[in-house]
Structure 1
Amino acid sequence: MRTALLSAATLVLAALLGGCGGSTPAAQMPARTPAPTASAPAAAGPQAGPAVSPPLARRPAGRVVSVGARPDAVGADVLGRQFAVAVHDPARLVLVGSRTGRVSQRVAVPGAVPRPGDPTPAVFLLQGQLGRDAVAVSSAARPASAAVALGRTFVTVGGEVDVLGRDGPVAHFSTATTAIAAADAATHLAVLSGPRRVLELYDPRTLRRIASVAAPAGATHLATLDDRVYVTDTTGNAVLTYATQPRLHRVAHCALAGAPYAIAVDPIRRILAVTLTAANGLTLIPLTAPTATTTLPTVRQPNALAIDASTSTIAVASPASGTLQLISRHR
């Protein structure tokens, strides 16, 4: 397994942090040990996934851009007003203007040349604290997610969480992880495990679990804003809302048919966006009026999602068609 770390500033230069333009071997990986917890983790079950989308019945909203084979992750660079899209065969990062929809660059991923028999390297895209993205590359099984909390970079690798240093992983903890995100103004790490049916908060410095609450077995993704954590229950057809203060607990359940999967939040307009993989749809939920939802048609198999809040543009990636859908909402 290879893990590397890039920043959006180095994407244009195709440079790996610590080694410009080349493949830098990952640091020696420490032995994986369970993170200290208050109690033993529950036995893990199967991981839920997106529904297999039907053929398109409506024309997708906005514009659709061809980006390459199997785009399965997308991140927003709000300072650059662009999206970075992970494609495969070969592994590339495709930079697409959020306003123009133009592909400005295709960047080869350093070290992303799989050996015979290895899976295609995954590319994990990360929302940076200052609007930039970081990218971790690994041959571990997907899906995956990444987060920055208290200045430390975390990525999920094979159901576990890696803490990344300059040259690769420097620590690990096991959680049968489904997805992660920074929470509480990036002072905590929210860790979701559908197989273990739990949502947890970790201290990013000590890697100790500080809180946990039950989550559905069909949970697949999460997004955070202020003291709220939003979780998609793909098999349960719902979006769940959790509060982290004064304790971690569930505060709302929103039924949402269509196998909700990818999720993102616009922190400026306070809108939650959720893809519906069984219906080729995108539901927008105003956090100030959760019942006033809007659903738009998407590309087929809308498995990945990001929002450029600086331009009010939503990007939806389709691994089925090799396209990126851009939906602008200027209001």
Structure 2
Amino acid sequence: MPPAGKVVPIGNAPEGIVIAESGIGAVAVRNPDGVELIDAATGAVRQTVPTDGAARHLSLAGPDGPLLVPLEGSNELCELNIADGRITSTTTGVGRQPHDAAQTAGGTIVVTNEREGGVLFVRAGTVIASLPAGPVQPGGVAAVGEYAAVADVQGNGVWVYDGSTHQQVAQGPVGMKLTHAVAMSGDAAAFADTDGGAVFVERIDPQLAQVAKIDAPGKPYGLAYDAVRRRLYVTLTASNLMRVIDTSNAAKPRVLGDLPTVQQPNSVAVDSRSGAVLVTGSDPDGGSGLQIVTPDLLPPG
């Protein structure tokens, strides 16, 4: 089944993607490594920013940035001005293979140290604190107020850190194999249970409390949340589908439908202005592409 919407070429092996409030998007690519800044409405590349290593995840510190770029290949965290592509700071010493990063409400950036466990706390381009291995393999991280909630890929749970005190404040088992995390409205975050075929919505206060478990068979992986329309988007990498979920009532989410995607849909983002959804296809054998799904093609609520 062909992907919904249109697919435009972009870089090589595109993966991490975010869209700023301004409508400028950013896509992580590799070989050559860099970040493509795009017009989210059309997918047209505005600028290519080369980097010293490749990023898997991208995140925004605020609605219009800066863009946080954890470079797994060079073990650095870059902050990038999304409007003009300037790299405003480069932080070294952020562990071995920094996988993801998120900025908490107080301005502290929490970086997951995938190959050594634990997390690092960054401010103004400097590591100000670090914690030793807690999660076996820390993966995706979501900022929920002053807290950073980290998915443990191998440890089957969520670890919560306080960005102001630089301490672990909670931990609990969730699912079978969590990979990605995304902040939702209020004090909630969603976690993709890739091996368990589900998405968990957890309240972070800072203790964990399950709000809902959403069925998502087919290796759920990429997550994006539309706070304006209260929708959660989940990529299903085993079936090349995107599941659309209404979370107006977070305790009783409704699956609205599935749409066909590009091959290996590892990441997804939402343009908050229009509600359009962009998906990156990272299958090395099936080519690379950026899929743009306009609101009229999404299932009605």
TM-score norm. by structure 1 comes to 0.73
Q: How many residues align?
A: 262
Partners in 2 of 1:229 and 1:297 — Cα distance?
Answer: 25
- Aligned with residue 325 of structure 1, among 288, 291, 294: 291
Partners in 1 of 2:183 and 2:16 — Cα distance?
Answer: 18
* Residue in 2 that maps onto 1:171: 129
Q: In structure 2, what residue type is equivalent to 1:204?
A: G
* Residue in 1 that maps onto 2:176: 217
Q: In structure 2, what residue type is equivalent to 1:266?
A: D
* Residue in 2 that maps onto 1:162: 120
Contact map agreement 2:15 2:57 (CA 8 A) in 1: no
Contact map agreement 1:213 1:249 (CA 8 A) in 2: no
Q: C-alpha displacement at 1:298, in angstroms?
A: 0.3
Counterpart check, 1:293 vs 2:253: no
Q: In structure 2, what residue type is equivalent to 1:329?
A: P
Q: Which contiguous aligned blocks of 4+ residues in structure 1 show a shift greater than 3 angstroms? A: 140-143, 165-170
Contact map agreement 2:193 2:199 (CA 8 A) in 1: yes
Q: In structure 2, what residue type is equivalent to 1:189?
A: A
Q: C-alpha displacement at 1:101, in angstroms?
A: 2.1
- Aligned with residue 274 of structure 2, among 307, 311, 314: 311
Partners in 2 of 1:168 and 1:306 — Cα distance?
Answer: 28
Deviates more, 1:269-278 or 1:213-222: 213-222
* Residue in 2 that maps onto 1:18: none
Contact map agreement 1:313 1:328 (CA 8 A) in 2: yes
Counterpart check, 1:126 vs 2:69: no
Residues 110-130 of structure 1: per-residue CA shift (max 9 Å, x gap): xx0xxxxxxx53354112223
Q: Percent identity?
A: 30
Q: C-alpha displacement at 1:61, in angstroms?
A: 0.8
Residues 210 and 238 of structure 1: CA distance in aligned 2, closer, same or farther (over 3 Å): same
Partners in 1 of 2:154 and 2:229 — Cα distance?
Answer: 33
Report the secondary structure of 2:12's partner residue.
coil
Contact map agreement 2:152 2:178 (CA 8 A) in 1: yes
Counterpart check, 1:136 vs 2:70: yes
- Aligned with residue 231 of structure 1, among 191, 214, 222: 191
Q: C-alpha displacement at 1:143, in angstroms?
A: 8.2
Map residues 177-256 of structure 1 onto 2, 5 A cutoff. Answer: 177-183=138-144, 186-225=145-184, 226-245=186-205, 247-256=207-216
Residues 17-51 of structure 1: per-residue CA shift (max 9 Å, x gap): xxxxxxxxxxxxxxxxxxxxxxxxxxxxxxxxxxx
Gaps of 5+ in 1: 1-57, 113-119
Partners in 2 of 1:282 and 1:227 — Cα distance?
Answer: 25
Q: C-alpha displacement at 1:211, in angstroms?
A: 2.1
Instruction: Choose between structure 1 and 2: higher strand proportion.
Output: 2
Report the secondary structure of 1:310's partner residue.
coil
Residues 157 and 121 of structure 1: CA distance in aligned 2, closer, same or farther (over 3 Å): farther
Partners in 2 of 1:235 and 1:86 — Cα distance?
Answer: 25
